[in-house]
Every structure is written in structure tokens, then in C-alpha cells.
Amino acid sequence: MLGLGAFRKKQWGTESIPDLTGRVAIVTGGNTGLGYITVRELARKGAHVYMFSRTESRALAAIEKIKTELGPEIKPKIDYVNFNLQKLSSAKQAAEQFLKLEQRLDILVNNAGIMATPYELGPDGIELQACNGTGHFALTTPLLPLMKETAAKPDSHVRIVNLTSIGYRGAGSPDFSSLEGLNQKSWSSWGRYGLSKLANILLTNELQKRIEESGCNNIYCLSVHPGPVATELSRGPLQSWPILSAIEPIAMLFTKTPLQGALTQLYAATSPEVEEKGLKSALLFPTAQLQAKNSLAEDKDGKLGAQYWKLCEKLVAEKA
């Protein structure tokens, strides 16, 4: 007699990633945590992966560690490009550097980010957590023409994956009409984080809409919430509330490993099911499950997403 377990669908895993030989990928924040796992697993399957990261020494050390973990039988193609999420000029320069190196781009995983840090303005006068969205806008938009060219080639499967969080539900009443609205001090650390993660979903929505309006129908843009994961992202809350260090060991017992946490973004970046199920502008929760968006993130009339896009364009024009 078969038990209930026999009828459960097997959870999607890295063994399901298809052969990626000939594909080119970018992963931001790829030197640690979810990004590190994403770089490793894409490279394991044959993709040429570019690790976009701020600190060269850490990135190069991570690349060497990946090579060791994959073993001598695999010769991964991984290169480093300097990318500072908090500087719009750095994002633009990173895109320009990549465009000089490559003739295609199949996968873009906008993974980098910070969480619940104390209030602080970055080098461009943008609140640091808000850079989770603005920095990736500045990187992604210059890459779109190449991604469209790639999508027009035979057997292409082009994906843009933006990391978000269930914390987007705490965004309250966002104001993307101006930099002052984006930088409001009245938001708590968690509120600013939620705002940045709502922005990532709105960016996904707008990218999908604008790509299709340009006549390209085979690029898939997705937002991904990885779930609670034991990564360096916890540094932000600890900076905001040092008392949390007392319960951190207990909290870690209820978090996913980086490998478990990275599965949903790897699914979004590689799985044929994304196209089979038509997951355009989709929001995925772990592991690889379609999730309904709240009304702000759904943004049915497109006004909030258009407002955010316009603000990002203005900031890039002024500061990049």
C-alpha cells in the first residue's frame, strides 16, 4: 500500500537545472549567500557566469572556492565585474564593461541587497536600502538591448530575476514621486526594507510590460522571495537592534540553508516550466511556488510602477 508521500510532488532541486552550455549569466552579490550558490550552480551546468560584486578580493576568493567545490572534473567559467549597488555610476559602468565583453546575455539575477539597516544615505544621496531597487534599475536597463538580441536567437531562454521578500507587504503607502519621498525618515528599518522589496516587484512588472511593448515576447521577468535564510543579510537587523544578537542562534534554527534558499531563484532563472506555465511578471515563494501579489504589488493600473520607473530614470540621468 502506498503512503501519502508517494503522491507528493518532488521538490524542485539543482539536479533539475538543464544544461546551460553556451549561456551567459550575471549574478549580482554573487560572492556570498544566495548569490554564491546561484553562481556555483549555474557554472556547474555550463553557463559562463559573471559575478558582479563590490569587493574584488572577496569575489576572487569566492570564485576560487567555487572551483574547489566543483572539483577538477568541471572547468567553470566565472569572471568578476566590479559592481557597487549603492552607486548608480558603478551600476552603469558595470553594464558597460559587460557589454564590451559579451555578445549575449541569457540570465540576469539581481540578487544583491541589504536588509533592515539603520537609516543612512548612500553616495548618491539615496537611502541605502532603496538602492536595492535603484541600483538594479541602473544595471538592468542598459543590458536590455543585448537581452532582446539574445532572445531573438534560436533556442533562447532569457530570464530576468529580481530578489524580493515577503517583507514587501509592509511597505505601507509608498511615495515614488521624488527622491524625498523615497528617502522618508518616517519609515522604520523594516518599513524601508519592505519599500525596497516592493520596488523590486514593481521593477519586474515594468520590465515585463516595457519589453513586451517593444515587440519582444520571449523574455521572462520574475520576482522571487527566497524565504528566511541564514546569510550575511542578518547583519542589517543586528546593526539596527544589537539586542537581537542574543536570540540570533535560536533564530538560525528556523532558517533555510543558502542552498535551500537559492532554489527558487535558480528555478526562475533556468527551469523550462517558467515558459511552459507562462510565468511572466510572476512572484514566486519557496520553493518555486506561484504566489498572488497584494494590490500594491499587482499595480493593476500600472501607475505606481510607472512612477517608480520615472524616478529611477531621473536619478540615473542626474547621478550616473
Distant-in-sequence, close-in-space partners of 153: CB < 8 Å, separation ≥ 6: 104
State the cell numbers at 167: 517583507
Residue 193 known to be catalytic: yes
Identify which of 65, 61, 164, 46 has the alpha carbon closest to the alpha carbon of residue 109.
164
State the cell numbers at 215: 515587440
Selected catalytic residue, list 168, 193, 220, 308: 193
Tally DSSP H helices, then E strands, for the chain. 12, 8
Q: Which of 171-178's residues contact partners 24+ apart within 8 Å by CB, and which partners?
A: 171/195, 171/197, 171/198, 171/296, 174/198, 174/199, 174/296, 174/304, 176/304, 176/307, 176/308, 176/311, 177/307, 177/311, 178/311
In angstroms, the CA 8 to CA 4 distance is: 7
The answer to whether the CB of 22 falls within 8 A of the CB of 271 is no
Residues serving a catalytic function are 193
